[in-house]
Amino acid sequence: MLKKTVSRILDLIYPPSCHLCECSLIAGSHLCDTCRHELSPIEPPFCTRCGESYDGQINTPFTCPNCHQLDFHFDFAIAALHSDGGGKELIHDFKYMRQIHLAAELAKLMNTPLKDSRFRPYLTNGLLVPVPLHWMRQRKRRFNQAEEICKKLSAQTNIPHLSALKRIRNTQTQTRHNRAKRLENLKSAFSMTMRMKARIQGKHIILIDDVFTTGSTANECAKILMQNGAQKTAVLTVLRG
């Protein structure tokens, strides 16, 4: 009640506006319909393993040439948006400008890929698990972007969430490395406590992150989850890099 009143007063002082075009909005939203429609969603055809989309006519399920040589620990990866335009701006501002209120908007965008039929068993026996940050990086950023999205998505979908993974090595930032370097860099970067292990037994895990690039981070997390008793792991991200 108090929370609602405070938020109403705040709306009067600072009328809510669209994060991208700054037009005024009704309370509870941070993105106008026009800007939401201008985002570039990932639509079929896309690779059934890594979610990379392709131009052209492919009507049957396919795996991209990149995934032919790779053996992932996760079942499949799927993302809401291409990593350009408005999507990129939203993630950038959310992550680096501490616009944490955008988490709900980003989670809303993930509801579309979540409708993929492969997620069906994950909806009934599922658990949303965020890719963890090392505590040192989290202290610097003040929040874990994946965890914030995870909490909002859980509230929107009623799928429980659990921060089951721990990042035990403060790995260097991955963006400048090639695939081989990324893999080396991530070795033994993640772990899980016995208490968390007990809670993921037999579960269908949806691993949540902001961006999927080569999949090496998601793959390392999926490896730990699968080794510790998860039934299956799929990856859901806002952007496909």
Contact residues: Zn ion, CB under 5 A: 18, 20-21, 32, 35, 47, 49-50, 52, 64, 67
Question: Smallest gap, in angstroms, from Cβ of residue 180 to Zn ion?
Answer: 18
Question: Smallest gap, in angstroms, from Cβ of residue 46 to Zn ion?
Answer: 8
Q: Which of 111, 77, 112 is nearest to 221 (CA)?
A: 77
Give the separation between CA 164 and CA 107, rounded to whole angstroms.
19
Give the residue with the Cβ less far from Zn ion, 133 or 234: 234
Task: State the Rg of the chain over Cα.
Answer: 18
Question: Smallest gap, in angstroms, from Cβ of residue 179 to Zn ion?
Answer: 13
* Pair of tokens at residue 160: 């429980």
* Maximum CA extent, the chain: 56
Give the residue with the Cβ less far from Zn ion, 21 or 136: 21
* Pair of tokens at residue 30: 């941070």
Question: Smallest gap, in angstroms, from Cβ of residue 91 to Zn ion?
Answer: 16
Give the separation between CA 72 and CA 78, rounded to whole angstroms.
14
Question: Smallest gap, in angstroms, from Cβ of residue 79 to Zn ion?
Answer: 12
- What's the N-to-C CA distance of the chain in angstroms? 41
Give the residue with the Cβ less far from Zn ion, 79 or 110: 79
Give the separation between CA 114 and CA 173, rounded to whole angstroms.
28
Give the separation between CA 189 and CA 187, rounded to whole angstroms.
5
Give the residue with the Cβ less far from Zn ion, 18 or 162: 18
Give the residue with the Cβ less far from Zn ion, 29 or 157: 29
